[in-house]
Amino acid sequence: MYKRYELRRSFNFPLEVITSDWDEPIDLIASDLSPLGAYIESELFPGAGEHVVCSFNLLRGRPEYCFFGEVTRINFLRRRTDNGRPGFGIKFLDTTPVKRIQIRHSLRGLPPPIPSVRRTRIEIARLEDLM
């Protein structure tokens, strides 16, 4: 099972995405970010496992971050249990420790995303099974 090692932060910011299928870079909104990846809200979806290039700037006057990433999750909002907005998750592939620390420092003080209703229900069901 995938274990998250970094805390995601709610942070709506513009992010430029380039894929092999799209003719030009597209500006999208990332709704949450961690030093290891981001969730991007979009009606356009690259394929799962596809490699993309992401570039963004967290603070004005600071250098722009540019990472290769892999699409690890796609949320089409087709199922009743899907929540949030449609989009896809990207795992950054080439972050250096220094850049991860810089991103973590820039995100300090921002709240984590609101937990999903589905996850809370599953955790409650597991607790009830244990009792």
Q: pLDDT tens across 23-65, in order?
A: 789 999 888 888 889 989 888 888 889 999 999 988 777 788 9
Question: Is residue 4 in some structural domain?
Answer: no
pTM of the model: 0.74
59 part of a folded domain? yes
**Residue 3 included in any domain:** no
| Domain membership flag for residue 70 | yes
Question: pLDDT digit string (tens) for 84-96?
Answer: 678 899 999 998 9
Instruction: Tell me what the mean pLDDT of segment 109-113 comes to.
Output: 69
**Segments forming the whole domain that contains residue 60:** 9-130
Buried/exposed code over 112-126 (b: 16+ C-beta within 10 A; e: otherwise): ebeeeeeeeeeeeee
pLDDT band at 1 (very low <50, low <70, confident <90, very high): very low
24 lies in some domain? yes
CATH code, domain with 25: 2.40.10.220
Q: How far is CA 4 from CA 34, 79, 88, 128, in A?
A: 10, 24, 17, 25
Q: Domain tally for the chain?
A: 1
